[in-house]
Amino acid sequence: MNNSRRRRIVAIIATALTAGGPAFATDPPVAQKASIAAPQPVACPSGTQSSREYAFNLMGNRAGYQTVCLQADRTRLVRFEFNDRGRGPALTSKIVLDAHGIPVAITNDGNDYYKDPVAERFALEGGTATWTNKVEKGSQPVAGAAFYVSQTGSPEEIGLLARALRDVPGGKLPLLPQGEANLQKLSQLRISNGNTSRQVGLYSISGLGFQPSSLWVDENGELFATFDGFSTIVREGWQDSLPALRAEQDAQEARRRTEQARSLRRAPTGPVVIERANLFDAEHMTMRPGTTVIFAQQRIVAIGPDGSLPIPAGAERIDAAGRALLPGLWDMHTHPDLDSGPLFLAAGITSIRDMAAETDKPARLHVFDTNEALGPRVVFAGIIDGRGPYQGPTNTLVSDEAEARKAVQAMSAAGFGLVKIYSSMDPKLVPAIADEAHKAGMRVGGHVPAFMTAEQAVLAGYDEIQHMNMVFLNFLYDKVQDTRTPARFTAVAEDATAIDPQSARVQAFLQLLRQRHVTLDPTLGAFESLFNDRPGVVGAGLAAVADRMPPLVRRSLLEGGLPVPAGEDTRYRAALPQMQRMLMAVRAAGVPFVAGTDAMPGFMLARELELYVEAGLPAPEVLRIATLDAARLVGRDGELGSIAPGKLADMILVDGDPSRKIGDVRRLRLVVKDGALFDPDALCRALGIQPVAVPGR
C-alpha cells in the first residue's frame, strides 16, 4: 500500500515537504533503470521565451517529468506528471508572478495522485487573497508579501518560494493560508556536465513540515533539484550530478540531525529509578501499581514493589505518580527515513520494522543506533518485485529464478529478517523466493502478487500477509485478478460487506493461516483513511492530534482518501467495520497479527490500536500485540517487548491507563530508549508540533 509514501507524494505536489530531506540510496546509472511507463514530456506552447525540463524519479526509476515554460509577462506554464503503479498526478499550472517573484495568480488543473479532478484557483488582488481547491475555500486580507502554497501544485512552486525568500529581508515570508517559511543557505557546489559547468546552491526551507526541506537552485535562482529519499526531481540532462549533490546534502543534513540529537537526547551518567509506576506486565497483560524500576546504562537492573528495592547511591529518581509505565511501542509496518526518526520517538515508538528497505539502508539508518540522529531501533524487511509498468518502488527487480534467488541472498547478507514480495512479482517465482529465504532463516510476506490468491501465496511459502485487503481479495478473485493498480483498494471498498468472516470458505482459509503459522499485518488505520477520509475534513486517524500539527501538515490531512464514485459513500464506509469483523475472526481462529501503520510516522499507531479495541479486542491484549508480540515475531523478545530485569531500558511513561483506555498512549510524559531519556514535549516542539495538553502540566 505504502500509504505513508502516498502522503509524502501528496506533500511534494503541494510543496509541503513533510519528510524534509533525508539521505538517499545510491541509484544505479540511469541507463540501467527499468521503465515504469513514465509519461513523456509535453512541449511548451508557441510564444514561450525559454523553458526548463526536469526528470522525475521514484526510487531511482524514471517516473515522470516537469516542464516549465516562461512567458514574456512573468507567467509560468508548468506541466507536471508521473506514474506510480498506475497512480500519479497530471497537472497543468499557470503561475503569474509580480515584480518581486510572488505569485499573484495560480491555476492548477488536471488530476491528483488518485486521479481525482483538480481545479485549484488562487488570486491576490487589491490586498485580498482568495483561493479555492479540493479541500478549502477562503479569503483574507494581505498586507505586504505573502506566498500561497498550492494544495495540489507542482514542484516548481518550492523553487519559486526559495527564490522569493532569498529576495526578502531576513529570509522570511508568511504563507497562505497560514504559516511562515524561513530560508537558510547551507552551501554551494560547482558541477559539470561534459564541457558545461555551473554553480548551484543548497538551501533549506523551514515551516513547510516537521523538518526543514532542502532544495538546490541554480545561479539564476531557479529550481535545480530536490530529493527526499523516495522521489527525485532534477534538471534534465544533469542526472550525472546527482551523486555529488546528494553527498553534499547528506553531509549538511547530517550536521543538523546530530545537533538535534545532542539537544534532545539525555544519557544519564548513573542509575535511574522510576518510582510509584503503574507498570504494564506485557507477558501477563496486567497492570502492577506501586512499582519501582531501576535501570543503569542501557539495561533494566531490578523491578519490585515500591520500597522493596535498595536505591543505588547517586541515582536519579523519577516520580511516576501513578502513571502507566509501558514497554516502548513497536510499529511493524513503516517506511522510515532519517528525518522521520524523531516522529516515532515523539509518539512513544522505540522500535519499528522497515517494510521496504533497499540493501544499503541499514548502513544509513545506523545513525539511530550511534545517536548521531534521533530515531527508533529498526529491523528490516527487503522488498522485491517483478519488472513491468506497475513495478513497485524498489531497485530490486527480478524476471527469473536466478535473479530472484540472488536478490534474496543479498537481503540475507544485509541482515534482513523478511523478504517482502510486491504486486508485480511473477507468481511462478514465489516458491523459489520462499525457498531461498527459508534456507537463510528469513521470513516471506508482503502483497499477494497480481494473478495469484492469498491462499496460493500461503501454500507457496508466505509467512506473513501485509494489509487486510489482501485477505478480502482472496475471495474477490473472480472480480479482480490484476491487483497491481488501485483496484486492490476499490474492489474491497465496494464489496467487503459481501465477504462473511463466518462463512465456511473464509473459515477454511483462516485455518490454513493458523496451520501454516502465518501472521497478519492488517494496517487497518491506513484503510480507514483510504475508505473513510473525505476532502476538507481531517479523518479519524489523526483527528486526535491534527490541531497540534504544523499548519501545512494539518492542511495535508484534509486531502481525503480514495475518490468515491457517486452513490458509493455508504458502501465505502461499511468496508472498515467489515475489516474489523474479519480481524476478530482472525483472532478467533488463532491467527496472530501485529500492529503496523504504513502511514504518518509515529502518530498513526495510537489510532491503529484504537481500531483493534473498537473491533472487540481487550486493550491489554492490544498493548501486548504492540510490544511483546512484535518483539517475539522478529526474534528480539529476549531484550525487548516487556519491562524485565536484564532487558534493554525501552519504556514510556503516560498519563492515564492505556489498559483501560488505549488512546492514553498519546498522553506521553517520558520516553526511554536504550536507557537514554527523551522529553516528548521537547521532541514535539522541535518538530513544530504542539505538545499534548495534559491536565496538571
CA torsion sign for 323, 326, 330, 331 is negative
pLDDT reported for residue 86: 84
Cβ atoms 278, 289 nearer than 8 A: yes
pLDDT band at 2 (very low <50, low <70, confident <90, very high): very low
pLDDT reported for residue 24: 23
176-203 pLDDT, tens digit each: 999 999 999 999 999 998 889 999 999 9
Please state, in angstroms and rounded to a whole number, the distance separating the CA atoms of residues 242 and 655.
47
Of 18-22, 127-131, 133-137, which range is least confident? 18-22
pLDDT reported for residue 697: 53
Please state, in angstroms and rounded to a whole number, the distance separating the CA atoms of residues 203 and 184.
6
Task: With a cut of 90, say whether residue 19 has pLDDT above it.
Answer: no
Q: What angle do CA 538, 539, 543 make, to 5 degrees?
A: 70
Amino acid at 119: A
pLDDT reported for residue 205: 96
Phi and psi at residue 634, to the nearest 5°: -100, 10
pLDDT band at 695 (very low <50, low <70, confident <90, very high): low
- Residue 177, SS3 per DSSP: coil
Give the residue carrying C-alpha cell 555551473.
198
pLDDT reported for residue 37: 78
Task: With a cut of 70, say whether residue 9 has pLDDT above it.
Answer: no
pLDDT reported for residue 85: 84
Amino acid at 575: A
Alpha helices, DSSP H only, in 545-628? 551-556, 569-588, 605-615, 619-624
Averaged confidence pLDDT in the chain: 92
Give the residue carrying C-alpha cell 490500536.
609
Of 224-228, 315-319, 520-524, 607-611, which range is least confident? 224-228
Please state, in angstroms and rounded to a whole number, the distance separating the CA atoms of residues 460 and 568.
36
Decide the pairing of beta strands 50-58 and 316-319: unpaired
* Rounded mean pLDDT, 81-104: 93
* Rounded mean pLDDT, 305-315: 96
Torsion from C-alpha of 489, 490, 494, 495, nearest 10 degrees: -50
555-575 pLDDT, tens digit each: 999 999 999 999 999 999 999
pLDDT reported for residue 696: 56
* Rounded mean pLDDT, 106-127: 94
| Grid cell at residue 609 | 490500536
For the chain, list the domains and their CATH numbers.
Answer: 3-263 (no CATH), 265-327+628-691 (2.30.40.10), 329-603 (3.20.20.140)
Percent over 70 (pLDDT), the chain = 94
* Rounded mean pLDDT, 361-386: 97
Work out the number of other CB atoms within 10 angstroms of the CB of residue 473.
Answer: 26
Q: What angle do CA 361, 365, 368 make, to 5 degrees?
A: 165
pLDDT reported for residue 274: 98
Please state, in angstroms and rounded to a whole number, the distance separating the CA atoms of residues 670 and 688.
19
Nearest to 230, CA basis, from 448, 77, 3, 42: 3
* Rounded mean pLDDT, 398-425: 97
Please state, in angstroms and rounded to a whole number, the distance separating the CA atoms of residues 666 and 673.
17
pLDDT reported for residue 32: 33
pLDDT band at 17 (very low <50, low <70, confident <90, very high): very low
* Rounded mean pLDDT, 364-381: 97
Beta bridge partners of 466: 521
133-175 pLDDT, tens digit each: 999 999 999 998 999 999 999 999 999 999 999 999 899 999 9
pLDDT reported for residue 692: 84
Task: With a cut of 90, say whether residue 20 has pLDDT above it.
Answer: no
Please state, in angstroms and rounded to a whole number, the distance separating the CA atoms of residues 84 and 393.
8
pLDDT reported for residue 47: 87
* Rounded mean pLDDT, 64-69: 96
* Rounded mean pLDDT, 36-58: 90
Cβ atoms 552, 559 nearer than 8 A: no
* Rounded mean pLDDT, 614-636: 98
pTM: 0.92
